[in-house]
């Protein structure tokens, strides 16, 4: 052990190279103890975990020293009437925010009492957008013309890199001599960023060869990945999902201690008008809360909460109650690849019946997206109800989170 510490200290052995000399478990332990020695921090809790780290160090993380634990709760049962998710589910939520799970749980109760949330996926396509440099604007037009006229060549190139993905569309955008191609793929049960990056590189090679365009970057930020963007808000990225429920006056009174008119006014003045006045790209109460907690629990990339937060929540008066809906333009989820194979995350996916690949391919990811959307709707209902009844601060005080 001392020999490894001395070599790490001298720099003759790099932290990332420990796995080349030691089994994964031992490499992680040595690295953690070296961090304790270097920083003076005690990392005993970080070193206590049940995860199979041999997979993690190969696929999910570098310079691993242990695991950070996040409390995991469940909300439900939540009745979902989707094309892929049709039944009652307990939603796993990993969070350190007190009162969140209780709030979502209340929304689940309202939805279930109302007969369930109706959920539909409007479109499904993950994007990558390389940027090319043209010689001048005439050349830029030539590149766009070639792209529009040769979909088969681009599709053949893209699909030669994967047995799962399928190229759906390529849309060109131009700014001076910069040409951006927003390439969209069906990635089946994978979230698919690795898949489509490799496929996009192949497509870019064909475009360079055929048009003389110069590839500047494989991502030109019109994808748009992990950043707020109007293009995702309007066109969608990943899965565009709608979830709606009709709540009766009696359910609103019993569960939320308010009435339909108050719910509608809070939604209008807060979610719609307030968001517009602020210039927000999200017109919702706290969709990001449910998305982040579900993504962390289920091995999704939590950075995609950025796109997921671009949700529009609507409330309309109907006879005998209110119709509430959540529109999520960009739900980016997968049930294979990434963090979905880690032990605890895989268990959370299995609670929802979406672990691994679906039959047919893509069915599990779609089912998961429908459940996420219904969970967001539950969270929106509960927070709007608390605000309408002026119970929000009291709920936090009662749960000891004031």
List residues with catalytic annotation. 97, 301, 396
| Residue spans of alpha helices (H) in 122-169 | 137-149, 151-159
Which residues on adjacent β-strands are paired with residue 214?
133
Task: Please give the C-alpha separations between residue 101 and each of 66, 75, 76, 189, in angstroms, as whole numbers.
Answer: 26, 6, 10, 27
Contact 243, 374 (CB under 8 A): yes
What is the H or E stretch that residue 73 is in? strand 72-82
Instruction: Return d(Cα 75, Cα 375) in angstroms, integer.
Output: 9
> What are the two backbone dihedrals, phi and then psi, of residue 117, each rounded to the nearest 5 degrees?
-90, 130
Residue with tokens 């957008």: 129
Contact 132, 329 (CB under 8 A): no
Give kind and range of the element (H or E) at residue 326.
strand 321-331
CB contact at 8 A, 164 and 155: no
The helix/strand count (H/E) of the chain reads as 17, 10
Contacts 24+ apart (CB under 8 A), 359-365: 361/164, 361/188, 361/189, 362/124, 362/186, 362/188, 362/189, 363/84, 363/189, 364/189, 364/335, 364/336, 365/187, 365/188, 365/189, 365/190, 365/191, 365/239, 365/333, 365/334, 365/335
Q: What is the dihedral of CA 57, 58, 61, 67, to 10 degrees?
A: -30
Q: Which residues contact residue 43 at a Cβ distance below 8 angstroms, ignoring those fewer than 6 apart?
A: 32, 35, 36, 65, 66
Strands 117-128 and 238-248: antiparallel
Say if residue 20 is exposed, middle or buried (CB neighbours under 10 Å; 0-12, 13-18, 19+): exposed
Largest CA distance in the chain: 76
């Amino acid at each position: 052990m001392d020999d490894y510490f001395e070599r790490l200290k001298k720099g003759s052995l790099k932290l990332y190279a420990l796995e080349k000399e030691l089994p994964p478990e031992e490499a992680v332990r040595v690295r953690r103890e070296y961090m304790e020695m270097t920083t003076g921090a005690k990392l005993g809790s970080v070193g206590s975990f049940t995860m199979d780290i041999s997979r993690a160090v190969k696929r999910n993380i570098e310079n691993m020293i242990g695991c950070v634990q996040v409390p995991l709760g469940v909300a439900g049962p939540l009745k979902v009437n989707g094309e892929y998710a049709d039944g009652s589910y307990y939603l796993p939520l990993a969070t350190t925010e007190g009162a969140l799970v209780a709030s979502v749980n209340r929304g689940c109760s309202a939805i279930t009492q109302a007969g369930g949330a109706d959920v539909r996926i409007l479109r499904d396509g993950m994007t990558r957008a390389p940027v090319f440099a043209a010689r001048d604007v005439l050349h830029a037009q030539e590149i766009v013309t070639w792209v529009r006229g040769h979909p088969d060549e681009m599709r053949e190139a893209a699909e030669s890199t994967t047995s799962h993905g399928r190229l759906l569309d390529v849309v060109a955008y131009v700014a001076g001599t910069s040409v951006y191609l927003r390439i969209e793929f069906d990635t089946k049960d994978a979230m698919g960023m690795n898949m489509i990056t490799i496929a996009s590189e192949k497509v870019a090679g064909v475009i360079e060869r055929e048009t003389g365009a110069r590839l500047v970057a494989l991502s030109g930020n019109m994808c748009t990945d992990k950043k707020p963007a109007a293009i995702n808000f309007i066109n969608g990225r990943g899965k565009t999902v709608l979830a709606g429920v009709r709540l009766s006056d009696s359910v609103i009174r019993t569960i939320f201690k308010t009435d339909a008119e108050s719910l509608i006014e809070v939604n209008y003045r807060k979610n719609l008008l307030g968001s517009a006045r602020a210039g927000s790209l999200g017109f919702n109460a706290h969709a990001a809360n449910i998305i982040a907690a579900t993504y962390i629990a289920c091995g999704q990339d939590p950075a995609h909460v950025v796109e997921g937060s671009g949700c529009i929540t609507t409330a309309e008066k109907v006879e005998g109650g209110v119709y509430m809906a959540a529109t999520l333009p960009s739900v980016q989820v997968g049930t294979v690849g990434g963090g979905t194979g880690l032990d605890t995350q895989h268990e959370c996916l299995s609670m929802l019946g979406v672990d691994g690949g679906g039959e047919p391919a893509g069915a599990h990811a779609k089912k998961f997206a429908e459940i996420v959307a219904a969970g967001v709707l539950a969270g929106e209902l509960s927070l709007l109800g608390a605000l309408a009844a002026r119970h929000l601060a009291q709920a936090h005080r009662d749960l000891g989170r004031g």
